[in-house]
Amino acid sequence: MGTPQEREELRNDFERAAAWSKQNHRPLYLGEFGAYREANMDDRALWTRAVAREAEKWGFSWSYWEFCSEFGAYDPVARRWRRPFLNALLDKD
C-alpha cells in the first residue's frame, strides 16, 4: 500500500463506496479486513494502517480480521500484541 498508484486506487474504491452510501442513506461497515502472515510485517502494517485510515476518513466503521491466527494482531505464543498491527490499528507511531 505504499505506491502513489496503490493509494489512489484505495481512495477511489472508498470514494465510490461512500457515494453509494450517501445516495442510498446507508452507513457502511468495513468488516474484517486483514493482512496474511506470509507477507512481511512492515508491509502488512502499512497496508492495515492505510485501509483503516481511509475507512475512517470516509466515516466507515471497521474491524480487523482476526485476533490471533493467520492474520492475527495478537501473538498467542508470546502473549502480546504484535506492536506494528496495534500501532497501525490505533494510528500510533
pLDDT in tens, 6-44: 999 999 999 999 999 999 999 999 988 988 889 999 999
Closest alpha carbon to 28 in 41, 37, 15, 40: 15
pLDDT at 93 over 80: no
> What are the backbone angles phi and psi of residue 30, rounded to the nearest 5°?
-90, 95
pLDDT at position 2 is 75
Q: Cα separation of 31 and 65, whole Å?
A: 8
pLDDT band at 75 (very low <50, low <70, confident <90, very high): very high
> What are the backbone angles phi and psi of residue 62, rounded to the nearest 5°?
-155, 165
Q: Cα separation of 72 and 23, whole Å?
A: 35
